[in-house]
Structure 1
Amino acid sequence: MIDWKGSWITDANDMHYKPAPYFRKEITTLKTIKSARAYIATGGLYEFYINGNKVGNRMLDPMYTRFDRRNLYTTLDITADLKKGKNAFGMLLGNGWYNHQSTAVWNFDKAIWRNRPRCLVNIRITYTDNTSETIVTDESWKTADSPVIFNSIYTGEHYDARKEISNWNKPNFDDTSWKKAEISLAPSSNLVSQQLHPIRVISKLKPAKVEKINDTLYVFTFPRNIAGTTQLSIKNAVAGTVFRIKHGERLYKNGRVDMSNIDLHYRPTDNSDPFQTDIYIANGKGNESFSPKFNYKGFQYVEISSSKPFALDRNNILAFVINSDVPAVGTIKTSNEVFNKVWEATNSSYLSNLFGYPTDCPQREKNGWTGDAHTAVETGLYNFDGITIYEKWLADHQDEQKEDGELSNIIPNPGKFGYEFATGPDWTSSVAIIPWKIYTFYGDISLLTKMYPNIKKYVDLIDKRYPSGVTDWGLGDWVPVKSTSSKPLTSSMYYYADALILAKTAKLLGKTTDSEHYFHLAQKIKNAVNDQFLNKTTAIYCSGTQTELAGPLYWGLVPDEFRQKVADNLYKKVQETNFHLDVGLLGTKALLNALSENGYADAAYKIASQEDFPSWGYWIKNGATTLYENWPLDVEKNDASLNHIMFGEIGAWMYKGLGGIFPDEEIPGFKHILLKPNFVTGLDSFEAKYQSSYGEIVSSWKRKNGKILYKVTIPPNASASLYLKHGMSLSISPKEIITVNEGLYEVIQLEAGTYSIKLNEK
């Protein structure tokens, strides 16, 4: 805990005032500095400067929370930035989600916490003689308007370079005309250290193409759809020339940027705040460069218009790819190039929607939709070390949960939107599913322990509202291809999953009474679902859609004696669509897994690798570099984002359904690995690598001369159980093996090491 000193400060303006404020403070240090740290809390966003230079490379700090309940502070090592003698500190504050001045249907402009940006800074300097001092924010700091004349996390940033103040954040600057900072109230009384991977510029892209429309209008095409910003660099512009930098995902037939698919929820108050558009006003002083500090967009195309004729080419603009800088931990390589691109597009969409919390899309909403996040959590965890992001976001769940246990559909939410719909278990099961997945992937029980009371409150709420064990509370199988599935069935599936997770967690935590109670509740839900929805004569749930058959299989609701019959019916169902998807979001999570885990991996791969409508490959064949919000390409009739993560389960399924890499929840964290590879027809080779806490796990196979050559690596201090279909003749090196028959499988126990296995295909 930090023993905070000083005061929160702001300027004299209210929340409607548009220019972003500068703050500065100058000190003199007479001793030699040993170490120094800056502890920074803000309502809104900040950039921190010492002696004219920005400290670090972090973007959009601190992360977004429910500001009236919890604020994050960041810690910066500034030892190397300070010098003996005069030092100047500078702060530039942006609005972020704290002071949302743009209007949209989500009512963030009416958020109950909304206020003028403010900050609390403690700078702690330790000298070589072991004395120390703390520089704090108070009325001695000075403030003035910056050239950032407007900034919105949702729409764009406006910068008037004519208003630049030279050397404002350097020593010996004359700030006598600046005003004193004002003491302000804290956004909340709860300051928490920000302990997660920061947002950074990950890479830079040059335009692949530029089209001149006329002397004042150019359109730039970048290699792929991204989340991020652009940097405009110009030379010898006439002072006062206005450049409008418009970002979008599509082009009209006339070559102009088309935002009709992403401005659905935008409600402009006037023309001064255009969507996904930065505005730069040149100062006319030669070389000029602009990149927004407090905003990001989703785009592949950029349209730049100027108020006066100005020649532009590919050297005038760069795209910055920005997201939470989570390390990559997984790779997939296959003999199917389109399939490889699906994996790449899935990862691109996942990262495009990771900004200190998981979002749905980086352009029109940027909201933390709970259903999108728990559906994609395994895709995230197989590919990236994202535990810190989820730990932070689950704390956001705690901030949002009502006393009766209800959760909002977007987290964080503005306090006036989020409880009207999509708050049932099919969406807000994120409170249980994500901490459970973190436990199985990392072997770390701390998040489950922390969230246990919240999961319990949520499950108890559903039990109270729906004592029969069946609930219709939820949004249902969102955006189905064609068939509509039973909402009571899909909502009850997730209710069962939550109750079962709660029971298992109670057992892990030694809460015997709770464990018995919630195992009983889970069984009650399972019985009720099967009594109401399962036709025991036909082994079909409800009307037998792909979602209605796959969901109960995937979530473990099907009684053992019906499991194979239900799986057989699911196979027949996908045959009817010639192995094409006919599901929505919830069905997409379940379908491929239900098939590959029940003897129909070939069918799952056929679906996953299709290249005509509707499929992931269909998007790729039509130029997609990210995943879309809807299966059709006709966005004129479907206001669909082209960078959504909600259909991203396929990224996790590649590790599971083809590589067969599963954590063992009995011995979690990949201490013991369950290996269930499927050597599917249609692929000549496949390789999955996953960097677990114990080291790299490799599951790779290829076909050669009628045999499967399978290689597997088990990291040190780990072991694995390898499940191979019973009856497949095999040889293994470097050691003899012991096999145990288990139904359709032979189970081979493997210790740490690398193994080469030859199998004869049937």
Structure 2
Amino acid sequence: MSELINFRTEYQQRPLAVQSRTPHFSWQYEKSFKGEQTSYRIRVATSEKLLYEGSEDMWDSGEVRSAASVGVQYGGRPLCSHSRYFVCCETTDGEGNRYRSQIASFETALYEKSDWKGQWVSVPVNFNGGTLLFRKAIALKDKKIARARAYICGLGYHEFFVNGRKMGNAVLNPGVTEYGERVFYCAYEMEDLAAGKNVIGVEVGYGWLGARKLLAQIYVEYEDGEVYEDHSGPGYGWWVGGSPTVDNSVYGGEVYDARIEDKYPKNWNTLAFEPTWANGWMYTIAAAAPNGELAAQEIEPIEVCARFPEVSRTDMGGGVYIVDVGKNIAGWLKISVRGERCASVTLKFGEQLTNEGYVNQLNLRSARCSDTYILKGDGVEEFAPRFTYHGFRYVQAEIAGKAELLSCVGEHVHTAAPLIGDFSCSDKTLNALHEIAVRTEQNNQHSILTDCPQRDERFGWLNDLGSRIYQTMYNVDMSRFIPKFIRDITHTQTAEGGIGDTAPYYTGGVPADPVCVIYPLLADYAYRYYGDRATAAAEYASIRKWVEYLLSRSQNYIMEYSYYGDWVTPFADVRADNLYVSSLYLLWHLKEMRRLAVIVGNAEDEAQYGDHAERCAAALHEKYFDEKTFDYCGGTQTENALALSLGIVPEAFRSRVAENIYRDAVGRGHHCTSGNIGYRHVFYVLAEYGYADEVVNILKNPAYPGWGYMMENDATSVWERWEAEMQNEMHSFNHPMFGSYDAFLYRYLGGIDVAEDAFACDKIRIAPVFTRLVDHVSASMKTVRGEIVSKWKRENGRISVHIEVPPQTSAEICLGKNIYRVGGGSYDYAV
């Protein structure tokens, strides 16, 4: 019997806290699988033994005649809170061959409010300005432990310890949410427990909540079925103290005073340390609970995902050194230092240097963005902050007193969602542009999709995301991220249907700019890429309410308001009309609403929004088209591209409108004139109408303004603005809104496209554009069904093409005029 691979529950392997009471399962086949699945059978039990015996006590789906291998929903007995279940899957193909998964497990969340027995705890507000150390000793029996779990909500950020060892690799936990609506707790597997006394510890910093409080629940299950349970609350044996981290904030940074480790030593969370009133510890006091409902955190945690050792260090004199880690990253600097007691090292972070060679912090605005370590004077000491993060390439290390900086390493910190895409080609500039797009995307995934990681912002700006999401879907597995972030958007919604410009809502307007089409797009993509129907169903009513709100702010489908439009255009004399842009995005919303109606099976809405979309397109064409010039509105690249991309141009005029875009780009010296909204449409439209070479010219163009200019000026991440020098406070050099050129590389040079009506990438199209400016391309993308690969190479006047299609997938391969329709497998062609 062959093996199924990558069996997952709710897109996770061995999850510890599944929030759904009816979770979904998925699995994959090896690349060698050439057939079609004809049936599946899923069995779920409370023990592995029951599965082995064929005595599953929770669910036996029976043999289901179906090709489904993604999004198969649990249909057994009701699942219980805080429980572990075991699951396996068997399938057959058309030839009667059988396949089986390894036995997997999943654990459920705390479903009910009543499951939480403890109370929120903290300290008096004037106790301490740094992080808080919570600890408790628990006594366990001398019996074998079957399962030990901790459910911890330490706000704003926390880290969890057992007997002195940190559990897991997460940092900056839990993820930021709309705290008035939802608060995440984290499930931990407790290791290193022993018979007798054990110490559990939680360190808590301010994070985004701006408060420090703890809710904790501990379960230890012995093999004989007995359960030890413990929870937080005043008078329950929890002690709390200050810490050597005497100051911490997201924007400000950290101050760590190693001199007070005598009072709050590094072994504070072990039996070797005894907290007392005399040494500065106290009992916890009751704290007010956040308003939001508790929910299990199911997105990937934020982690240290890569390390960048310093590439240079410049002595500026007077104890000041400039450290360059080589790349513009989000995270922090880990240092090792040696020196006398009371000496200090202050680290100031920035993305560029001044003309004098010091770190330039102009674009940080009010954010201090510095960390300070005060030495205790005991040999080699190491420091890295844990309750803040910075966006930087350069660090100004200022040493006060007698100390020596031994080493510096930039630690790259972001949500640990797996990378799924890869792109390379024969052109070095395009390869470098791909690299910085990926890095910038990762730099701006911190449990929300942020705009930048360095200044006093770092918000989930929705207007950027309608362009940005295209490269995101090629590069990063968003299966767990999308449901979380789209719910953040829903939580910003007003009674009238408006949503916030940012999610969670921190700034911007309410209602949001009409360009915020990311709201329905995310639900569509959850289904299209990952087979997630539940997200579309859960958010459908709220998305519909937003679309109806936009309709209410329009007259004959022309929008009445706009804020940002095509933001940050590169030429002062070119700007798309804001209301035109808003109106085209109304059309896009209507089309997406029809698509979501199809997904959730609402035939009435499908017809209604399909009709709205047709009438909207006709109204926009009638109002804005100039039959003499074949332009829309003012004839900018953005305005014409939106008209083509969103489908308001009659067939007879399409090639002329596309030609206008091309001629304008060439006339501008191979430059795109669009801002953050329009450029993605311009690139796609040019490629669709035979001008892919011009997109490559635009991307490689080393002259200001553009992406090639970024590369000419040593960019290691994508910029917010077009100037190479930091000219004002609104000039981030780590901004993903202009990074979706990377989607052009995948979709057109690599040719990889997921069909609009796909379910979990079951329908794909591979149509590489053999631009004369590139000699070879290699592109790949891992999907929930397996990996798509598209490679081509030009040699001796011929082009060789290699395509790999995952099992359970149908593909249309377009090579020039030749079209091949294939299933899963490996294919080679000559063109």
TM-score (norm 2): 0.83
CA distance in 2, matches of 1:508, 1:203: 38
Residue of structure 2 in register with 1:70 after alignment: 182
Determine if contact 1:150/1:159 at 8 Å carries over to the other structure: yes
Residue of structure 1 in register with 2:823 after alignment: 751
Equivalence map 1:632-671=2 (5 Å): 632-636=723-727, 639-671=730-762
> Among residues 115, 126, 135, which one is paired with 2:221 in the alignment?
126
The alpha-carbon distance between structure 1 residues 189 and 224, as it changes in their structure 2 partners (threshold 3 A), is closer
Determine if contact 1:31/1:127 at 8 Å carries over to the other structure: no
Say which SS state the counterpart of residue 496 (structure 2) adopts.
coil
Are positions 1:283 and 2:376 aligned together? yes
Are positions 1:117 and 2:212 aligned together? yes
Residue of structure 1 in register with 2:509 after alignment: 419
Letter in 2 for 1:263: L
CA distance in 2, matches of 1:117, 1:559: 59
Say which SS state the counterpart of residue 355 (structure 1) adopts.
coil
Q: For residue 561 of structure 1, report the CA deviation from its aligned partner.
A: 2.7
CA distance in 2, matches of 1:419, 1:371: 11
> Among residues 788, 796, 807, which one is paired with 1:716 in the alignment?
807
Q: For residue 681 of structure 1, report the CA deviation from its aligned partner.
A: 1.5
Determine if contact 2:570/2:674 at 8 Å carries over to the other structure: yes
Determine if contact 1:216/1:310 at 8 Å carries over to the other structure: no
Q: For residue 630 of structure 1, report the CA deviation from its aligned partner.
A: 0.9
Are positions 1:480 and 2:591 aligned together? no
Which one is further off, 551-560 or 643-652?
551-560
Q: For residue 396 of structure 1, report the CA deviation from its aligned partner.
A: 0.6
Say which SS state the counterpart of residue 735 (structure 2) adopts.
coil
Are positions 1:36 and 2:148 aligned together? yes
Residue of structure 1 in register with 2:476 after alignment: 384
The alpha-carbon distance between structure 1 residues 303 and 449, as it changes in their structure 2 partners (threshold 3 A), is same
CA distance in 2, matches of 1:198, 1:371: 25
Say which SS state the counterpart of residue 387 (structure 1) adopts.
coil
Q: For residue 336 of structure 1, report the CA deviation from its aligned partner.
A: 0.2
CA distance in 1, matches of 2:209, 2:249: 10
Letter in 2 for 1:341: A
Say which SS state the counterpart of residue 413 (structure 2) adopts.
strand
Determine if contact 1:474/1:491 at 8 Å carries over to the other structure: no
Letter in 1 for 2:556: S
Letter in 2 for 1:210: R
CA distance in 1, matches of 2:771, 2:378: 63
1:464-502: CA deviation from partner (whole Å, max 9, x where unpaired): 121320114241110001111111111112111111111
Residue of structure 2 in register with 1:142 after alignment: 239
Are positions 1:46 and 2:133 aligned together? no
CA distance in 1, matches of 2:644, 2:531: 26
Equivalence map 1:510-549=2 (5 Å): 510-549=601-640
CA distance in 2, matches of 1:625, 1:575: 27
Q: What is the identity percentage for the equivalent residue pairs of Structure 1 and Structure 2?
A: 31
CA distance in 2, matches of 1:578, 1:257: 34
Residue of structure 2 in register with 1:736 after alignment: none
Determine if contact 2:536/2:599 at 8 Å carries over to the other structure: no
Determine if contact 2:464/2:677 at 8 Å carries over to the other structure: no
1:257-282: CA deviation from partner (whole Å, max 9, x where unpaired): 1111x223x1xxxxxxx711001111
Say which SS state the counterpart of residue 791 (structure 2) adopts.
strand
Letter in 1 for 2:192: D
CA distance in 2, matches of 1:589, 1:576: 19
Determine if contact 1:52/1:170 at 8 Å carries over to the other structure: yes
Matched pairs, number: 706
RMSD (Å) for aligned C-alpha atoms: 1.6
Residue of structure 2 in register with 1:584 after alignment: 675
Are positions 1:59 and 2:149 aligned together? no
Residue of structure 2 in register with 1:200 after alignment: 303
CA distance in 2, matches of 1:499, 1:223: 45
CA distance in 1, matches of 2:557, 2:241: 60
> Among residues 338, 357, 381, which one is paired with 1:255 in the alignment?
357
Equivalence map 1:65-464=2 (5 Å): 65-78=177-190, 80-99=191-210, 116-139=211-234, 140=236, 141-164=238-261, 165-166=264-265, 167-171=267-271, 173-177=273-277, 178-235=281-338, 237-260=339-362, 262-264=363-365, 266=366, 275-312=368-405, 315-364=406-455, 365-414=457-506, 417-419=507-509, 423-426=512-515, 428-464=516-552
Determine if contact 2:536/2:600 at 8 Å carries over to the other structure: no
1:230-250: CA deviation from partner (whole Å, max 9, x where unpaired): 112112x22222221111111
* Consecutive unaligned residues in structure 2, runs of 5 or more: 1-108
Equivalence map 1:493-642=2 (5 Å): 493-636=584-727, 639-642=730-733
Say which SS state the counterpart of residue 316 (structure 1) adopts.
strand
Say which SS state the counterpart of residue 151 (structure 2) adopts.
strand
Are positions 1:492 and 2:594 aligned together? no
Say which SS state the counterpart of residue 185 (structure 1) adopts.
coil
CA distance in 1, matches of 2:496, 2:541: 12
Say which SS state the counterpart of residue 548 (structure 2) adopts.
helix
CA distance in 2, matches of 1:240, 1:231: 19
Letter in 1 for 2:269: N
Letter in 2 for 1:276: C
CA distance in 2, matches of 1:720, 1:176: 68
1:178-222: CA deviation from partner (whole Å, max 9, x where unpaired): 211011121025111100111111112211111111241111111
TM-score (norm 1): 0.90
Residue of structure 1 in register with 2:57 after alignment: none
Equivalence map 1:5-44=2 (5 Å): 5-13=117-125, 18-32=129-143, 33-44=145-156
CA distance in 2, matches of 1:169, 1:151: 20
Say which SS state the counterpart of residue 755 (structure 1) adopts.
strand
Q: For residue 593 of structure 1, report the CA deviation from its aligned partner.
A: 0.3
* Consecutive unaligned residues in structure 1, runs of 5 or more: 100-115, 267-273, 727-745
Determine if contact 1:540/1:566 at 8 Å carries over to the other structure: yes
Which one is further off, 143-152 or 345-354?
143-152
Determine if contact 1:244/1:278 at 8 Å carries over to the other structure: yes
Say which SS state the counterpart of residue 544 (structure 2) adopts.
helix
CA distance in 2, matches of 1:448, 1:406: 18
Determine if contact 1:71/1:191 at 8 Å carries over to the other structure: yes
Determine if contact 1:215/1:310 at 8 Å carries over to the other structure: no
Letter in 2 for 1:432: P
1:355-403: CA deviation from partner (whole Å, max 9, x where unpaired): 1111011101211111222321121111111221222111111111111
CA distance in 2, matches of 1:43, 1:400: 21
Q: For residue 637 of structure 1, report the CA deviation from its aligned partner.
A: 5.1
Say which SS state the counterpart of residue 527 (structure 1) adopts.
helix
Letter in 1 for 2:553: R
CA distance in 2, matches of 1:644, 1:144: 39
Say which SS state the counterpart of residue 719 (structure 2) adopts.
coil
Letter in 2 for 1:25: K
Say which SS state the counterpart of residue 678 (structure 2) adopts.
helix
Say which SS state the counterpart of residue 571 (structure 1) adopts.
helix
1:645-692: CA deviation from partner (whole Å, max 9, x where unpaired): 000111111111211211112233221211221101111111111112
1:450-474: CA deviation from partner (whole Å, max 9, x where unpaired): 2211210101001112132011424
The alpha-carbon distance between structure 1 residues 133 and 374, as it changes in their structure 2 partners (threshold 3 A), is farther
Letter in 2 for 1:561: A
Q: For residue 27 of structure 1, report the CA deviation from its aligned partner.
A: 1.4
Letter in 1 for 2:138: I
Q: For residue 555 of structure 1, report the CA deviation from its aligned partner.
A: 2.1
